[in-house]
Structure 1
């Protein structure tokens, strides 16, 4: 089909089709004799995919990487979701700023423009240190899980093939894209585009599979250093504190006093020690 028909079927304008061809996103065949473009059903589907991703504001380099198989579609969509969430947050802040300023009935001649620009250019200083800490804690936990995670497979792992099957089953269960790059008892693989090395940790009853990111330094939280340090401390301290409070409440109810204080201190210290060993070993 010609470019006019391709435009009608895909919903992409002819100038945009030519632009995508120029950018290397589409390479239609040429008819023998006249050299005119001859678009196929596969080209129409590609154009529709490009149109869909552009409607989501996905950048052209990302679309090109997806079409070439260099980046999984799921990973590209997740990255774009993060970008859109940031844009939503920025728009929400802008809407709130407009509402706050409008309530003051400002006049163009008397408005303190410098103060407004300072507030708009440095919103973090206005929000306070602890604002959004829950979302940041989730971000930290997600990145730490991406750097290292482990799971218990269904059966024992005795051969490279069983190892590969266990990794593939884990990826399918989590809805993640799995690509094996090196089979063996120390396999290497990609999970949603992140490179990992895995090893087996034999247990008394069941094996455990541990996976470490090949380049953990590239998995950055994007958080300010001070906030990240505080969240790391909270990640270590919150479990023993909660354990202390739970045992204190239970002991107080049972004994009517503080007779269990030594027990809860030991239990909390044990939980804290376990968290430290989990992090450092």
Structure 2
């Protein structure tokens, strides 16, 4: 079967299937004559297993070890159970804290934010749930920046040469050279070992360049999937300073 059929039967999207292949979790056979991938029922079952384990937030390296027979499935599940239990303890702390604040019926302008943050970060606080969240938020923010960022150009970009000049100059100012792999008005380039595609955006007073990673799924934070999704959502809404004050309260909402 082809990749579309494998996707439909497994419930895994075609881009994710290609990503899992790239990561070595799946190696489908190739058809003679055209070298197209030929997925089997066994491949579909493997994809379903990967999907199940990812829904449990099992990290990809662990899944790879299980599929290769380097780690027993039972051992991997026991380790993940421990991780989830730790997260559940943190969440229980968030629930108690939210319940306490709710009973106090706080007003935004009257809430003692300093006291709340102190208690959230206190190692003696039972079920301490704030520990590590701000660090993880910054990790996600940095990773999202790698996936997509903008360059503001002081000059108009009218030709491929203009485009290349702006990209190369940006790399120089950032202290890391840009390597252009494909020219034109929709160029591709490599920066910090990441491959990007770019296009021009015209503003009222200046041009800008949108740079987007060609393989964003390969940029990993190493965080549990649900935690990362929550922090990505939070990043779209709040800057780091404000996020520090509300991460604990939003943790419960993100897990539900």
Per the shorter chain, which TM-score range?
0.3 to 0.5
What's the TM-score, normalizing by structure 2? 0.48
Of structures 1 and 2, the larger Rg is shown by 1
Structure ranking higher on relative contact order (CA contacts 8 Å, 6+ apart): 2
More helix by share: 1
What's the TM-score, normalizing by structure 1? 0.44
